[in-house]
Chain A
Amino acid sequence: MSAVVESTSVYLQDFRSRSVDEPAWLAERREAGIQAFEALGLPHRRMEAWRNLKLGLLGQEHFAAADALGAVPMALAPTAALVPEAWRLVFVDGHLSPGHAAVDALPKGVTVRPLREALAQDAELLETHLGRHAELDAHPFAALNSAFWADGALIDVAPGTVLDAPVVLVFLSSESSAHRASYPRVLVRAGESAEFRIAQIHAGPDNLPYFVAPVTEIVAEANSSVQLHHVQEEGDSAYHLGLVHADLARDARLHLHGFNDGGKVGRTDIYVNLAGEGADARLDGLYLVGDGQYADYHTWVRHQSGHCTSQQLFKGVLSGKAESVFDGLIHVHKGAQKTDSQQQNRNLLLSPRALTHSNPRLEIYADDVKCAHGSTVGELDRDALFYLRSRGVGENDARGLLTFAFANEMLQPIGIEALRDHVGQRLAAFMPGDATVKELL
């Protein structure tokens, strides 16, 4: 137990004991990852961005990287097949499951490939971008990912290419992943004016303490449009601590939609750099947090050029003794005039024991900008409840209808229909009320 807090961590010892044969540039970036982790250590209460997170088991025990492909748990077979019409890669315990892959007949100029294969075939692209975007100095787990990733995906879409079907990346944990860590890694490059949708789905079995720390880097070149649906449905004892980083060039558009409905601890940090003029980022998130769960979204939206727009809307529903954090930064750099940036966080507490933290941060260094933010925490509206009940709807069903009403807004922006239905079902399962009412929705 004490090993974790020694001057060199067990993770460094793991790192040194690996035997790998990789290109020098990659070895250097892995080394930078482990050094960043050594400098940071595991998060603790005195680290401002991490003070609400309780590490629990993850802070006490050593989660070594899973070293082999696990089996898809029976119950998660439907998750592996979510969104039937798609190009798909499935990973279990961080390793590619070849039998689940469906990446045939990709249009010309489009690559969807396991990262390990890409190391050989797309060496130049990887060397240019992999690990050159995500920032490791504030996120110990992203640092660990950089050091330890075993596999993941490369999505590269050539300029002017529009994909009509989405790319689906599924990262599962197996029944044998107890006390194991996996570090999925994703690199996305959108060429100029390319347009496509991605779903990144994480899930695993209940009653199993495992750890997943995914990192996704998105390079959106001029005028491209990327939609990323980031779905976290880990098992109820899992730790999920991930990072998404996007760099947007001139006129590029990113729509990131987060859905957090799993894990004992689930946190995703979203970094977006609006680097070129006219870039637009839309970040949406819905977190459903049950008894004993902790959910956390940290956003870092940086307006680095003028005429960029960003909208953030994160909604949370908490029940039982749940806890959530939304911490959202809007940083407007000097000279980023005509910035238009909005941020909203709304929380619905279904239980008096639930606790939510909402922390908007605005740092504005330009003088001709529009920035708005707001945050609300509330319970179900008493008058609305009475209104529904006065029409004969039972109290629990009325609570369910109003919970649905609160969260429904976050389903509409999901740009992949099969995924929207899936999230709708997860919402129905989470909300109060009996099956008859849920069927209506």
Chain B
Amino acid sequence: MAMLEIKDLHAAVEGEEILKGINLTINAGEVHAIMGPNGSGKSTLSKVLAGHEGYEVTGGQVLFEGRDLLELAPEERAREGVFLGFQYPVEIPGVANTYFLKAAVNAIRKHRGESEIDAMEFLKLIRDRMKMVKMDEALFKRPVNEGFSGGEKKRNEIFQMAVLEPKLAILDETDSGLDIDALRSVSEGVNALRDPERSFLLITHYQRLLNYIQPDFVHVLVKGQIVKSGGKELAQELEQSGYALFEENAA
């Protein structure tokens, strides 16, 4: 059984149709990259998969491990193992990263019928994962993303992913706006978490990310549809030709 099956997915924002029939299957352990120009619907796809209320599904189906994903609330999707790394992580002044993450870890454990994590175990987990993504320990005590640089915010997303250990991680333009050092450590974090049981959907605007994370499949999204799919060599092709060719084909 596929981990994620997207079948003819249509979605609209404020009445305007953005996704116009997406089909995509992701198996366990695979890394897929979706590339596309601005406005092609990349972020919409990620938000729809995570359950943002501002996006209306107007047709199609999404199955996660054979279950209807779209009928679940955002928190239920997370507890089932879907993780969305935000393009623009939200700042939450007044709530320390540590409280927030402990609440998240416990919500997921409760869902699995496990007991609450004890303080020592939590601390150990946090330290381990912070090392994995090379995150500064001081950031962990600070309010969620408040005053973080762009790179720190993205690193925090990868850190949270590492702590929550999802089955499917959707990373929405996690590479955008990062300088090369931040990009490297974000990529190393992702690579460290690659696992035969874990799948990734990388949404990106830039081919550069794929120099650091080798995808199994690359898809080109234009005007709400996947117009071409291939192996990682497709990314290089895009690098040379740009999206223009695909946009013409789509039109």
Q: Do they bind each other?
A: yes
On A, residues with C-beta under 8 Å from B are: 381-384, 386-395, 397-398, 401-402, 404-409, 436-437, 440-441
* 14 A-B contact pairs sorted by A residue (CB < 8 Å): A384-B92, A386-B50, A386-B90, A388-B92, A390-B83, A390-B84, A390-B86, A392-B78, A392-B79, A393-B103, A394-B107, A401-B92, A401-B99, A405-B95
A contact residues around B89 at 8 Å (CB):
387
| Most chain B CB inside 10 Å of its own CB: which residue of A388, A440, A441 | A388
Give Cα A348 to B96, complex, Å.
Answer: 20
Q: Is the CB of A401 within 8 A of B84?
A: no
Known: A390-B74, A392-B75. 19 other contacts (CB 8 A): A381-B90, A384-B90, A386-B50, A386-B90, A387-B89, A388-B104, A391-B75, A391-B78, A391-B164, A392-B108, A393-B103, A395-B73, A401-B95, A401-B103, A402-B95, A405-B92, A405-B94, A405-B95, A436-B103
Give Cα A252 to B152, complex, Å.
Answer: 43
Query: Which residues from 46 to 95 on chain B have a C-beta closer than 8 Å to any C-beta of chain A?
Result: 50-54, 73-75, 77-79, 83-84, 86, 89-90, 92-95
Shortest CB distance A204–B (Å): 31
A contact residues around B93 at 8 Å (CB):
405, 409
Give Cα A395 to B89, complex, Å.
Answer: 18
On B, residues with C-beta under 8 Å from A are: 50-54, 73-75, 77-79, 83-84, 86, 89-90, 92-95, 99-104, 106-108, 111, 116, 143, 160, 164
The chain B residue with its CB closest to the CB of A386 is B52
Q: Which 5 A-B pairs have the closest CB atoms?
A: A405-B94, A392-B78, A389-B74, A387-B90, A391-B104
Given contacts A392-B164, A393-B104, contact A386 B95 (CB under 8 A): no
A contact residues around B143 at 8 Å (CB):
405
Shortest CB distance B247–A (Å): 30
| Most chain A CB inside 10 Å of its own CB: which residue of B52, B74, B78, B102 | B74
Give Cα A388 to B104, complex, Å.
Answer: 8
Shortest CB distance A286–B (Å): 13
The chain B residue with its CB closest to the CB of A387 is B90
| Most chain A CB inside 10 Å of its own CB: which residue of B86, B106, B108 | B106
Given contacts A384-B90, A405-B94, A436-B116, contact A389 B75 (CB under 8 A): yes
The chain A residue with its CB closest to the CB of B110 is A436
B contact residues around A408 at 8 Å (CB):
94-95
A contact residues around B52 at 8 Å (CB):
386
Q: Is the CB of A440 within 8 A of B107?
A: no
Give Cα A383 to B74, complex, Å.
Answer: 12
The chain B residue with its CB closest to the CB of A401 is B95
B contact residues around A394 at 8 Å (CB):
75, 107
Give Cα A389 to B76, complex, Å.
Answer: 8
The one of A383, A390, A404 that contacts B78, using a Cβ cutoff of 8 Å: A390
Shortest CB distance A439–B (Å): 10
Q: Is the CB of B100 within 8 A of A389?
A: no
Give Cα A392 to B86, complex, Å.
Answer: 14
Give Cα A338 to B93, complex, Å.
Answer: 32
Q: Is the CB of B53 within 8 A of A382?
A: yes
Q: Is the CB of A391 within 8 A of B50?
A: no
Give Cα A401 to B100, complex, Å.
Answer: 8
Q: Is the CB of B103 within 8 A of A440?
A: yes
Q: Is the CB of B86 within 8 A of A387?
A: yes
Q: Is the CB of A391 within 8 A of B160?
A: yes
The one of A383, A436, A437 that contacts B90, using a Cβ cutoff of 8 Å: A383
Give Cα A60 to B95, complex, Å.
Answer: 45
A contact residues around B77 at 8 Å (CB):
390
The chain A residue with its CB closest to the CB of B102 is A440
Give Cα A426 to B32, complex, Å.
Answer: 48
A contact residues around B95 at 8 Å (CB):
401-402, 404-405, 408
A contact residues around B106 at 8 Å (CB):
436
The chain A residue with its CB closest to the CB of B91 is A384
Shortest CB distance A421–B (Å): 16
The chain B residue with its CB closest to the CB of A383 is B90
The one of A390, A406, A436 that contacts B50, using a Cβ cutoff of 8 Å: A390
B contact residues around A440 at 8 Å (CB):
99, 102-103
The one of A386, A390, A404, A437 that contacts B94, using a Cβ cutoff of 8 Å: A404
Give Cα A388 to B103, complex, Å.
Answer: 9
The chain B residue with its CB closest to the CB of A396 is B75
The chain B residue with its CB closest to the CB of A407 is B94
| Most chain B CB inside 10 Å of its own CB: which residue of A382, A402, A405, A409 | A405
Shortest CB distance B95–A (Å): 5
A contact residues around B53 at 8 Å (CB):
382, 386
The chain A residue with its CB closest to the CB of B143 is A405
Give Cα A406 to B94, complex, Å.
Answer: 7
Give Cα A436 to B116, complex, Å.
Answer: 9
The chain A residue with its CB closest to the CB of B105 is A392
Shortest CB distance B23–A (Å): 24
Give Cα A314 to B111, complex, Å.
Answer: 39
Give Cα A343 to B116, complex, Å.
Answer: 43
Shortest CB distance A63–B (Å): 40
Q: Is the CB of A393 within 8 A of B94?
A: no
